[in-house]
Amino acid sequence: MITRRSALKIGLAASLTGMFAKSALAQSIPQSGLVFPDGFTPGFLANPSPAARPFIQPLFVMPHAKPVPISALNPLPDPLRHQRYHEFLPKKFYIQTLDEFRWEYHPDPPYNQGCWSYGFDGITPGPTFITRYGEPLFVRRINNLPPVGTGRVPFALPSTTIHVHNGHQASESDGNPADFFNPGEFWDHHYPSFPAGFDPLEYMNTLWYHDHRLDFTAPNVYAGLSGFFLAFDERDSGDERDRNHLAFRFPSGKYDVPLILHDVLFDQNGQAVWDFGGSHPESGNEPGRGGYGPNHMYTTNGMLGDRFTVNRKIQPYFQVERRKYRFRVLNGGPSRLYKLFITKEGRDAVPFTVISEDGNILPEPIQTDSVDVWVANRTDIIVDFSDFHAGDHLFLTNRLEMRQDGAGMSGKLLDQGDQIMRFDVVGGKVHDPSRIPDQLRPLPPMDLSQVKRHRTFVFDYDNGLFTVNGRLMDPNRIDAAIEQGTAEIWTIRNSGHNWAHPIHTHFEEFQILEVNGKPVSRRDVLKSRKDVIRLGPGDEIKFYSRWRDFLGKYVMHCHNVVHEDHAMMIRWDIVPPGQGY
């Protein structure tokens, strides 16, 4: 990748279109020869989803979550349940209700009858939280899902815990996998809205919330439990006309669009199907509910759908004016990995600007023609449509081919790729007050003198089990006790030859020191604050991080949530100084 500034300097900008597509095809993808599990036929091959005409429905843009008066909370928030509550007194209060409902993924039959889904306040993805640093918030989440055996989503568990990924919040508000709440119960979350260590270089901006229930995260998120959580600060202020000279003035308002990608498999009734459970509604029995029949589709490798959805709509279109847009692209999983391009008429790659990795603003913008977006990765890109004309069609296109069993990439780039959504250019030239500064948010300095420990975590596959350092997740076992206020260096290794693992650690962002023994280039998006590692087969990644501000338990896990549900996770705790191990 090249920085935007250097691209402009050497005059590449005008000639990027098309050229990048060829260079991308020549790129090597880290993987090796892959072996399919015996006899496995993935669901999307055995029983493909019904047809759905692409690009006939508009993009669903989620409404913003609306605060309620504190008096709406009964009982009132209890400060004794939250660390540092009085230091970060909530200024806004929210109530979210988790429910089951029919969601229309597409207007064509059979999808038009609605797919039984989980969601928040009647929609999936849930409402987008718009938060500002310095304005702590309090969210009460009520589980109104139908109890086991009474619901219409056959594969998900109506017991949930909601994690704001990767919020800097106390353990008890983090959505710890074991902190589940069942139908008829609620959980209170306190989000203190301050950057790690009060360091303004640690502001995060594009976060998301999702279910994190032990053993059931994959089907629960797949069923609909995901949404965006955006955070703004003085510089990433959410105002493209901001007069503050420090403000970045990225495209804002309706020009700042969150896009969450989920690939979904449907049965012939338009109901979402989950491969692993094998619980597969089929037509002909019990109208509206479906019967169940033989199904030879299930996997613990990963779950692939054959319908690409954006904000839970199958292949939508989105009308864009001739100006810059900020798209916050999130891979919501469950298992598919993307290499995303913007293509013109489905062919030539169009350059765009990356401004963040994992939701964190980069030190400087990077101009490129593609971004790798693994599960839970967020990347904010700015696409400039000003040089296109009304009637032009551009596509968000994935070119990364997956193994059919969902475990990782196949090693090939697709020639044409999957067109995930379409951008329809409309209207004439418009005034565009937004901008992309040459310098963005510097990285916080790494103080190696603070490094207290080095740890190594090996992700592997052992006779059918997904392991970390040869063990399976036990939420009662502390795999790493990290002393508050210290830094550590972690080595994350993939000992598998076939598996790809997006590895996510909670609470604090880290900076990658080395990838397979080599330092990260300044012009690489990996030169950033991150919380999800793209760990390909055989890869080893070393990172530096610090742990501050709260005590308690958190987790690191594979964010191929099928692997996570099969216990590829560790618990780590922040402990008082002197009590680490």
Partner 1 sequence: MEEHTNGRRNFLIGVSSLAGLLLAKSASAGMETIGAKPKNPPSARSKNLLDRGILQGKTQIPEVMVETHEGHTLHLYADLIKDKVVTMNYMSIENETNFPISKTLMEVARLLGPRLGTEVHMISMTSDPHNDTPERLRAFAEKIGAPSGWHFVRATDQDSAMVSARLYRHGRSPDPRTQLDLVHYGNAAVGLWAAFPATIQPDDAALRIMSVMNGKPSKGPLKQAGPRILGEPGPGFNNRVANI
Q: Name the strand (E) or helix (H) holding 311.
A: none
Distances (CA, A) of 399 to 28, 163, 339, 412: 13, 30, 6, 8
- Buried (b) or exposed (e) across 196-223, using 16+ Cβ within 10 A? bbeeebbbbbbbbbbbbbbebbbbbbbb
Q: Which residues between 289 and 318 bind partner 1 (CB under 8 A)?
A: 292, 294-296, 298-301
CB 153 → partner 1: shortest distance, Å?
10
Q: Which residues between 103 and 142 bind partner 1 (CB under 8 A)?
A: 142
CB 79 → partner 1: shortest distance, Å?
10
CB 295 → partner 1: shortest distance, Å?
6
Stretch that binds partner 1, among 17-25, 209-217, 235-243, 492-500 (CB under 8 A): 209-217
- Burial class of residue 298 (count of CB atoms within 10 Å of its CB; 0-12, 13-18, 19+): middle
Q: Which of 9, 53, 81, 429 binds partner 1 (CB under 8 A)?
A: 81
155 binds partner 1 per the rule CB under 8 A: yes
Largest CA distance in the chain: 67
Q: Given the complex with partner 1, which of 142 and 446 has the nearer CB atom?
A: 142
CB 183 → partner 1: shortest distance, Å?
6
Q: Which residues between 232 and 291 bind partner 1 (CB under 8 A)?
A: 276-280
Q: Which residues contact 236 (CB under 8 A, 6 or more apart)?
A: 203, 205, 247, 248, 250, 361, 441
What tokens does 561 get? 């949530």
CB 303 → partner 1: shortest distance, Å?
12
Q: Given the complex with partner 1, which of 194 and 276 has the nearer CB atom?
A: 276
Q: Which residues between 26 and 65 bind partner 1 (CB under 8 A)?
A: 37-41
Tokens 């006309």 -> residue: 241
What tokens does 565 get? 């549900």
Q: Which residues between 561 and 580 bind partner 1 (CB under 8 A)?
A: 565-567
d(CA 233, CA 364): 17
Q: Given the complex with partner 1, which of 51 and 70 has the nearer CB atom?
A: 70
CB pairs under 8 A, 24+ apart, for 267-271? Answer: 267/47, 267/49, 268/47, 268/50, 268/110, 269/110, 269/113, 270/50, 270/105, 270/106, 270/109, 270/110, 270/111, 270/112, 270/113, 270/114, 270/115, 271/115, 271/116
Q: Which of 20, 120, 208, 216 binds partner 1 (CB under 8 A)?
A: 216
Q: Which of 122, 147, 427, 577 binds partner 1 (CB under 8 A)?
A: 147
Q: Which residues between 474 and 533 bind partner 1 (CB under 8 A)?
A: 474-476
Q: Given the complex with partner 1, which of 57 and 295 has the nearer CB atom?
A: 295
Q: Given the complex with partner 1, which of 214 and 366 has the nearer CB atom?
A: 214
CB 472 → partner 1: shortest distance, Å?
4
Q: Which residues between 183 and 202 bind partner 1 (CB under 8 A)?
A: 183-188
CB 279 → partner 1: shortest distance, Å?
3
**Which among 520, 359, 356, 510 is positioned nearest to 440, based on CA atoms?**
356
d(CA 551, CA 174): 12
d(CA 313, CA 444): 38
d(CA 31, CA 33): 7
Query: Residue 28 CB: number of other CB atoms within 10 A?
Result: 7
- Site size for partner 1 (CB under 8 A): 71
Q: Given the complex with partner 1, which of 83 and 560 has the nearer CB atom?
A: 83
Q: Given the complex with partner 1, which of 77 and 485 has the nearer CB atom?
A: 77
149 binds partner 1 per the rule CB under 8 A: yes
Q: Given the complex with partner 1, which of 38 and 415 has the nearer CB atom?
A: 38
Query: Residue 483 CB: number of other CB atoms within 10 A?
Result: 18
Q: Specify the 3-state DSSP secondary structure of 157.
A: coil
Supply the DSSP string of 78-110, one letter for each residue: -GGGSTTTTTT--SEEEEEEEEEEEE-S-SSTT
Q: Given the complex with partner 1, which of 387 and 462 has the nearer CB atom?
A: 462
- In one-letter notation, the amino acid at residue 248 is F
171 binds partner 1 per the rule CB under 8 A: yes
Stretch that binds partner 1, among 73-81, 113-121, 234-242, 383-391 (CB under 8 A): 73-81
Q: Given the complex with partner 1, which of 32 and 244 has the nearer CB atom?
A: 32
**Using H for helix, E for strand and C for coil, what is the string for 555-580?**
EEEECCHHHHHCCCEEEEEEECCCCC
- In one-letter notation, the amino acid at residue 528 is S
Stretch that binds partner 1, among 2-10, 179-187, 504-512, 537-545 (CB under 8 A): 179-187
347 binds partner 1 per the rule CB under 8 A: no
Q: Which residues between 447 and 466 bind partner 1 (CB under 8 A)?
A: 462-465
CB 172 → partner 1: shortest distance, Å?
3
